[in-house]
Protein backbone atom coordinates (compact mmCIF):
# COMPACT_ATOMS: atom_id res chain seq x y z
CA UNK A 1 0.00 0.00 0.00
CA UNK A 2 1.40 3.38 -1.06
CA UNK A 3 0.18 6.96 -0.85
CA UNK A 4 0.56 9.86 -3.30
CA UNK A 5 2.47 12.89 -2.05
CA UNK A 6 3.08 16.09 -4.00
CA UNK A 7 6.19 17.32 -2.20
CA UNK A 8 6.84 20.01 0.35
CA UNK A 9 4.02 22.21 -0.95
CA UNK A 10 1.48 19.44 -0.26
CA UNK A 11 -0.64 20.23 2.82
CA UNK A 12 -0.77 16.48 3.42
CA UNK A 13 2.56 15.95 5.14
CA UNK A 14 4.71 12.84 5.30
CA UNK A 15 4.27 12.88 9.07
CA UNK A 16 0.49 12.57 8.62
CA UNK A 17 0.75 9.87 5.96
CA UNK A 18 2.99 7.77 8.19
CA UNK A 19 0.18 7.56 10.74
CA UNK A 20 -2.15 5.73 8.32
CA UNK A 21 -2.07 2.01 9.20
CA UNK A 22 -0.47 -0.22 6.60
CA UNK A 23 1.32 2.35 4.44
CA UNK A 24 4.50 0.91 2.92
CA UNK A 25 5.69 3.67 0.66
CA UNK A 26 5.24 7.07 -0.95
CA UNK A 27 4.47 7.71 -4.61
CA UNK A 28 5.89 11.04 -5.73
CA UNK A 29 7.91 12.85 -8.39
CA UNK A 30 10.16 15.82 -9.04
CA UNK A 31 7.67 18.57 -9.82
CA UNK A 32 10.15 21.37 -10.52
CA UNK A 33 11.92 19.73 -13.47
CA UNK A 34 10.76 20.91 -16.92
CA UNK A 35 9.06 18.24 -19.02
CA UNK A 36 11.67 16.64 -21.25
CA UNK A 37 14.67 17.43 -19.04
CA UNK A 38 16.73 14.77 -17.26
CA UNK A 39 15.95 14.29 -13.57
CA UNK A 40 19.20 14.80 -11.63
CA UNK A 41 20.36 11.94 -9.42
CA UNK A 42 21.04 14.25 -6.49
CA UNK A 43 17.47 15.58 -6.48
CA UNK A 44 16.01 12.08 -6.69
CA UNK A 45 18.26 10.97 -3.84
CA UNK A 46 17.21 13.95 -1.72
CA UNK A 47 13.53 13.09 -2.23
CA UNK A 48 14.21 9.47 -1.32
CA UNK A 49 16.08 10.50 1.83
CA UNK A 50 13.21 12.76 2.92
CA UNK A 51 10.66 9.97 2.48
CA UNK A 52 12.78 7.32 4.16
CA UNK A 53 13.39 9.65 7.12
CA UNK A 54 9.66 9.22 7.82
CA UNK A 55 9.89 5.43 7.76
CA UNK A 56 8.48 4.82 4.28
CA UNK A 57 9.90 3.59 0.97
CA UNK A 58 10.27 5.46 -2.32
CA UNK A 59 9.97 2.82 -5.05
CA UNK A 60 7.26 4.20 -7.34
CA UNK A 61 7.36 7.42 -9.35
CA UNK A 62 4.20 9.03 -10.64
CA UNK A 63 4.80 10.47 -13.10
CA UNK A 64 7.67 11.04 -15.48
CA UNK A 65 5.75 13.10 -18.05
CA UNK A 66 6.14 12.31 -21.74
CA UNK A 67 6.88 15.47 -23.76
CA UNK A 68 4.23 16.47 -26.29
CA UNK A 69 6.83 16.41 -29.09
CA UNK A 70 7.18 12.66 -28.50
CA UNK A 71 3.42 12.18 -28.68
CA UNK A 72 3.27 14.32 -31.82
CA UNK A 73 6.21 12.51 -33.45
CA UNK A 74 8.15 15.71 -34.01
CA UNK A 75 11.80 15.73 -35.17
CA UNK A 76 13.21 16.47 -31.71
CA UNK A 77 11.71 13.38 -30.11
CA UNK A 78 14.90 11.29 -30.19
CA UNK A 79 16.70 13.74 -27.92
CA UNK A 80 13.70 13.85 -25.58
CA UNK A 81 13.48 10.05 -25.51
CA UNK A 82 17.20 9.85 -24.72
CA UNK A 83 16.58 12.23 -21.80
CA UNK A 84 13.68 10.05 -20.68
CA UNK A 85 15.88 6.95 -20.74
CA UNK A 86 18.55 8.72 -18.70
CA UNK A 87 15.92 9.73 -16.14
CA UNK A 88 14.89 6.08 -15.83
CA UNK A 89 18.50 5.08 -15.23
CA UNK A 90 18.89 7.81 -12.62
CA UNK A 91 15.72 6.69 -10.87
CA UNK A 92 16.91 3.08 -10.89
CA UNK A 93 20.18 4.11 -9.28
CA UNK A 94 18.12 5.48 -6.37
CA UNK A 95 16.04 2.33 -5.93
CA UNK A 96 12.92 3.24 -7.93
CA UNK A 97 11.31 0.11 -9.34
CA UNK A 98 8.14 1.35 -11.12
CA UNK A 99 7.54 4.41 -13.29
CA UNK A 100 3.94 5.44 -13.96
CA UNK A 101 3.37 7.58 -17.07
CA UNK A 102 0.64 8.32 -19.59
CA UNK A 103 0.31 9.07 -23.29
CA UNK A 104 -2.70 11.38 -23.21
CA UNK A 105 -2.47 14.36 -25.58
CA UNK A 106 -2.19 17.85 -24.04
CA UNK A 107 -3.66 17.12 -20.60
CA UNK A 108 -3.64 13.96 -18.53
CA UNK A 109 -7.08 14.13 -16.95
CA UNK A 110 -10.22 16.20 -17.31
CA UNK A 111 -13.18 16.98 -15.07
CA UNK A 112 -15.93 19.54 -15.48
CA UNK A 113 -16.07 20.29 -11.75
CA UNK A 114 -13.65 19.95 -8.84
CA UNK A 115 -16.30 20.34 -6.15
CA UNK A 116 -19.46 18.46 -7.03
CA UNK A 117 -21.62 18.40 -3.88
CA UNK A 118 -22.75 14.99 -2.66
CA UNK A 119 -25.78 14.30 -0.43
CA UNK A 120 -23.55 13.60 2.58
CA UNK A 121 -22.09 17.12 2.46
CA UNK A 122 -18.75 16.15 0.93
CA UNK A 123 -17.54 17.35 -2.47
CA UNK A 124 -15.89 15.40 -5.26
CA UNK A 125 -14.54 15.50 -8.79
CA UNK A 126 -17.21 15.19 -11.47
CA UNK A 127 -17.51 14.92 -15.25
CA UNK A 128 -20.52 16.13 -17.23
CA UNK A 129 -20.28 14.53 -20.67
CA UNK A 130 -22.71 16.94 -22.33
CA UNK A 131 -20.86 19.97 -21.01
CA UNK A 132 -17.51 18.59 -22.09
CA UNK A 133 -18.94 17.70 -25.49
CA UNK A 134 -20.18 21.24 -26.03
CA UNK A 135 -16.64 22.67 -25.89
CA UNK A 136 -15.08 22.93 -29.31
CA UNK A 137 -11.34 22.34 -29.85
CA UNK A 138 -9.51 25.64 -29.64
CA UNK A 139 -12.19 27.16 -27.42
CA UNK A 140 -11.16 29.68 -24.80
CA UNK A 141 -12.91 27.57 -22.17
CA UNK A 142 -10.60 25.85 -19.69
CA UNK A 143 -11.67 22.92 -17.56
CA UNK A 144 -10.14 21.36 -14.42
CA UNK A 145 -7.22 19.16 -15.38
CA UNK A 146 -6.19 21.35 -18.30
CA UNK A 147 -2.55 22.19 -17.67
CA UNK A 148 -2.40 25.81 -16.52
CA UNK A 149 1.33 25.89 -17.26
CA UNK A 150 0.46 26.37 -20.92
CA UNK A 151 0.07 29.93 -22.12
CA UNK A 152 -3.01 30.49 -24.26
CA UNK A 153 -1.09 30.52 -27.53
CA UNK A 154 0.91 27.41 -26.56
CA UNK A 155 -2.27 25.58 -25.59
CA UNK A 156 -4.06 26.51 -28.80
CA UNK A 157 -1.03 25.56 -30.89
CA UNK A 158 -0.97 22.11 -29.29
CA UNK A 159 -4.67 21.57 -29.91
CA UNK A 160 -4.14 22.57 -33.54
CA UNK A 161 -1.11 20.28 -33.90
CA UNK A 162 -3.21 17.25 -32.97
CA UNK A 163 -5.61 17.89 -35.85
CA UNK A 164 -3.13 15.98 -38.00
CA UNK A 165 -2.55 13.23 -35.41
CA UNK A 166 -5.36 10.71 -35.22
CA UNK A 167 -5.45 7.44 -33.34
CA UNK A 168 -3.36 5.61 -35.95
CA UNK A 169 -0.54 8.15 -35.78
CA UNK A 170 -0.68 8.33 -31.98
CA UNK A 171 -0.33 4.54 -31.81
CA UNK A 172 2.70 4.80 -34.09
CA UNK A 173 4.27 7.44 -31.86
CA UNK A 174 3.58 5.40 -28.74
CA UNK A 175 5.12 2.35 -30.39
CA UNK A 176 8.23 4.36 -31.29
CA UNK A 177 8.52 5.52 -27.69
CA UNK A 178 8.05 2.05 -26.20
CA UNK A 179 10.52 0.38 -28.54
CA UNK A 180 13.17 2.84 -27.39
CA UNK A 181 12.32 3.03 -23.70
CA UNK A 182 11.29 -0.49 -22.65
CA UNK A 183 14.63 -2.21 -23.41
CA UNK A 184 16.46 0.49 -21.43
CA UNK A 185 14.00 0.17 -18.55
CA UNK A 186 14.42 -3.60 -18.55
CA UNK A 187 18.21 -3.21 -18.42
CA UNK A 188 17.77 -0.91 -15.41
CA UNK A 189 15.31 -3.33 -13.72
CA UNK A 190 12.56 -0.69 -13.89
CA UNK A 191 8.99 -1.55 -14.82
CA UNK A 192 7.09 0.96 -16.95
CA UNK A 193 3.39 1.23 -16.09
CA UNK A 194 1.18 3.23 -18.44
CA UNK A 195 -1.89 4.92 -16.96
CA UNK A 196 -5.13 4.67 -18.98
CA UNK A 197 -6.87 7.69 -20.44
CA UNK A 198 -8.99 9.67 -18.01
CA UNK A 199 -11.81 9.75 -19.02
CA UNK A 200 -11.43 6.72 -21.32
CA UNK A 201 -12.83 8.28 -24.50
CA UNK A 202 -11.85 10.81 -27.17
CA UNK A 203 -12.56 14.36 -26.02
CA UNK A 204 -12.25 17.80 -27.63
CA UNK A 205 -11.24 16.23 -30.93
CA UNK A 206 -8.11 14.67 -29.43
CA UNK A 207 -7.26 11.00 -29.90
CA UNK A 208 -7.26 8.71 -26.86
CA UNK A 209 -5.81 5.23 -27.29
CA UNK A 210 -5.60 3.61 -23.82
CA UNK A 211 -9.30 3.25 -23.07
CA UNK A 212 -10.30 -0.41 -22.78
CA UNK A 213 -9.19 -4.03 -22.71
CA UNK A 214 -8.40 -4.14 -26.42
CA UNK A 215 -6.17 -1.08 -26.17
CA UNK A 216 -4.30 -2.51 -23.17
CA UNK A 217 -3.74 -5.81 -24.96
CA UNK A 218 -2.48 -4.01 -28.07
CA UNK A 219 -0.10 -1.87 -26.03
CA UNK A 220 1.42 -4.87 -24.27
CA UNK A 221 2.02 -6.60 -27.60
CA UNK A 222 4.08 -3.68 -28.95
CA UNK A 223 6.99 -4.72 -26.74
CA UNK A 224 6.07 -8.07 -25.23
CA UNK A 225 8.25 -7.85 -22.15
CA UNK A 226 7.40 -7.72 -18.42
CA UNK A 227 8.96 -4.24 -18.22
CA UNK A 228 6.15 -3.01 -20.47
CA UNK A 229 3.18 -2.99 -18.13
CA UNK A 230 0.18 -1.18 -16.74
CA UNK A 231 -0.99 1.16 -14.06
CA UNK A 232 -4.48 -0.31 -13.93
CA UNK A 233 -6.66 2.53 -12.67
CA UNK A 234 -10.09 1.25 -11.69
CA UNK A 235 -11.56 4.75 -11.67
CA UNK A 236 -10.30 5.75 -15.10
CA UNK A 237 -11.30 2.53 -16.85
CA UNK A 238 -14.44 2.26 -14.71
CA UNK A 239 -15.66 5.63 -16.01
CA UNK A 240 -16.78 3.65 -19.07
CA UNK A 241 -19.53 1.35 -17.83
CA UNK A 242 -18.72 -1.11 -20.64
CA UNK A 243 -15.29 -1.84 -19.12
CA UNK A 244 -15.21 -4.84 -16.79
CA UNK A 245 -12.41 -3.80 -14.46
CA UNK A 246 -12.33 -7.02 -12.44
CA UNK A 247 -11.96 -9.10 -15.59
CA UNK A 248 -9.15 -6.85 -16.81
CA UNK A 249 -7.41 -7.38 -13.48
CA UNK A 250 -7.74 -11.15 -13.81
CA UNK A 251 -6.37 -11.13 -17.34
CA UNK A 252 -3.48 -8.72 -17.01
CA UNK A 253 -2.48 -9.44 -13.42
CA UNK A 254 -2.54 -13.10 -14.35
CA UNK A 255 0.00 -12.28 -17.05
CA UNK A 256 2.16 -10.36 -14.57
CA UNK A 257 1.69 -7.12 -16.49
CA UNK A 258 0.05 -4.91 -13.84
CA UNK A 259 2.81 -3.14 -11.93
CA UNK A 260 0.75 -0.48 -10.15
CA UNK A 261 -2.90 -0.54 -9.10
CA UNK A 262 -4.89 2.66 -8.65
CA UNK A 263 -8.00 1.82 -6.64
CA UNK A 264 -10.78 4.36 -7.00
CA UNK A 265 -14.57 4.08 -7.13
CA UNK A 266 -16.82 6.08 -9.45
CA UNK A 267 -20.53 6.44 -10.05
CA UNK A 268 -21.11 6.30 -13.81
CA UNK A 269 -24.10 6.26 -16.15
CA UNK A 270 -24.74 5.22 -19.76
CA UNK A 271 -24.36 8.82 -21.01
CA UNK A 272 -20.76 8.95 -19.82
CA UNK A 273 -21.35 11.19 -16.82
CA UNK A 274 -19.50 10.18 -13.68
CA UNK A 275 -18.33 11.40 -10.33
CA UNK A 276 -15.88 9.99 -7.85
CA UNK A 277 -17.09 8.44 -4.61
CA UNK A 278 -15.67 6.97 -1.45
CA UNK A 279 -13.92 3.65 -2.00
CA UNK A 280 -16.81 1.58 -0.60
CA UNK A 281 -18.37 -0.77 -3.13
CA UNK A 282 -21.85 0.44 -2.15
CA UNK A 283 -20.93 4.07 -2.91
CA UNK A 284 -20.14 3.75 -6.60
CA UNK A 285 -20.59 1.61 -9.68
CA UNK A 286 -17.54 -0.56 -9.06
CA UNK A 287 -17.42 -3.59 -6.79
CA UNK A 288 -14.12 -2.93 -5.05
CA UNK A 289 -14.24 -6.23 -3.19
CA UNK A 290 -14.61 -8.07 -6.50
CA UNK A 291 -11.70 -6.12 -7.99
CA UNK A 292 -9.48 -6.93 -5.00
CA UNK A 293 -10.60 -10.55 -5.17
CA UNK A 294 -9.29 -10.63 -8.74
CA UNK A 295 -5.93 -9.26 -7.61
CA UNK A 296 -5.80 -11.79 -4.77
CA UNK A 297 -6.73 -14.74 -6.98
CA UNK A 298 -3.93 -13.84 -9.41
CA UNK A 299 -1.36 -13.53 -6.58
CA UNK A 300 -0.73 -9.84 -7.23
CA UNK A 301 2.36 -8.60 -5.39
CA UNK A 302 2.73 -5.14 -6.92
CA UNK A 303 2.10 -1.67 -5.60
CA UNK A 304 -1.34 -0.21 -4.92
CA UNK A 305 -2.61 3.15 -3.76
CA UNK A 306 -5.98 4.59 -2.82
CA UNK A 307 -6.72 6.90 -5.70
CA UNK A 308 -8.74 10.11 -5.59
CA UNK A 309 -10.95 10.73 -2.58
CA UNK A 310 -13.74 13.12 -1.72
CA UNK A 311 -13.04 16.28 0.24
CA UNK A 312 -14.58 15.59 3.66
CA UNK A 313 -14.69 17.02 7.19
CA UNK A 314 -14.05 20.56 5.98
CA UNK A 315 -10.67 19.75 4.48
CA UNK A 316 -9.26 22.11 1.86
CA UNK A 317 -6.38 21.62 -0.52
CA UNK A 318 -5.83 19.80 -3.82
CA UNK A 319 -9.22 18.39 -4.91
CA UNK A 320 -9.19 14.61 -4.98
CA UNK A 321 -6.04 14.46 -2.89
CA UNK A 322 -7.10 15.33 0.62
CA UNK A 323 -5.78 13.25 3.48
CA UNK A 324 -8.93 12.03 5.17
CA UNK A 325 -10.90 10.17 2.51
CA UNK A 326 -7.81 8.63 0.96
CA UNK A 327 -6.72 7.46 4.42
CA UNK A 328 -10.14 5.89 4.94
CA UNK A 329 -9.77 4.27 1.52
CA UNK A 330 -6.36 2.83 2.35
CA UNK A 331 -7.65 1.25 5.56
CA UNK A 332 -10.80 -0.06 3.83
CA UNK A 333 -8.79 -1.63 1.01
CA UNK A 334 -6.26 -3.17 3.38
CA UNK A 335 -9.15 -4.57 5.41
CA UNK A 336 -10.60 -6.30 2.37
CA UNK A 337 -7.16 -7.65 1.49
CA UNK A 338 -6.61 -9.01 4.99
CA UNK A 339 -10.01 -10.70 4.89
CA UNK A 340 -9.27 -12.28 1.53
CA UNK A 341 -5.99 -13.64 2.86
CA UNK A 342 -7.57 -15.08 6.00
CA UNK A 343 -10.45 -16.64 4.08
CA UNK A 344 -7.98 -18.18 1.66
CA UNK A 345 -5.89 -19.59 4.50
CA UNK A 346 -8.99 -20.97 6.20
CA UNK A 347 -10.16 -22.62 2.99
CA UNK A 348 -6.72 -24.18 2.51
CA UNK A 349 -6.74 -25.42 6.10
CA UNK A 350 -10.23 -26.88 5.75
CA UNK A 351 -9.23 -28.64 2.55
CA UNK A 352 -6.20 -30.21 4.18
| Active-site residue list | 195, 233, 262, 307-308, 321
Q: Is the peptide bond before 140 cis (omega within 30 degrees of 0)?
A: no
What is the residue-wise DSSP string for 189-233? T-EEEEPPPSSSS-BTTB-----SHHHHHHHHHHT-STTEEEEEE
Which of 284, 280, 248 has its CA nearest to residue 268?
A: 284
Interior/surface letters 169-191, b for 16+ CB within 10 angstroms, e for the rest: ebbebbebbbebbbebbbebebb
Which of 260, 264, 255, 270 has its CA nearest to residue 225?
A: 255
Collapsing DSSP states into helix, strand and coil, what is residue 95? coil
The DSSP call for residue 163 is G
Strand-pair partners of 263? 306
User: How open is the CA angle 12-17-23, to the nearest 5 degrees?
Assistant: 145
| Helix or strand run (H / E) with residue 26 | strand 25-28
Amino acid sequence: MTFRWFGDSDPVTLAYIRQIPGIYGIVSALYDIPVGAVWPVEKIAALKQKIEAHGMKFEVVESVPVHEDIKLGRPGRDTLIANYVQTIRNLASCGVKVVCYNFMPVFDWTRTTLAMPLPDGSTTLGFDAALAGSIAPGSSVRLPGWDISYKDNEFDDLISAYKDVGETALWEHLSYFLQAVIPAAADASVKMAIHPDDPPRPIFGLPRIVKNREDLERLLRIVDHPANGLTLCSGSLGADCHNDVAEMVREFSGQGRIHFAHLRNVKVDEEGNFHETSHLSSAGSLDMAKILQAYHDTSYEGYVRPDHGRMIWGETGKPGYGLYDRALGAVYLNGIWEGLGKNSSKATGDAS
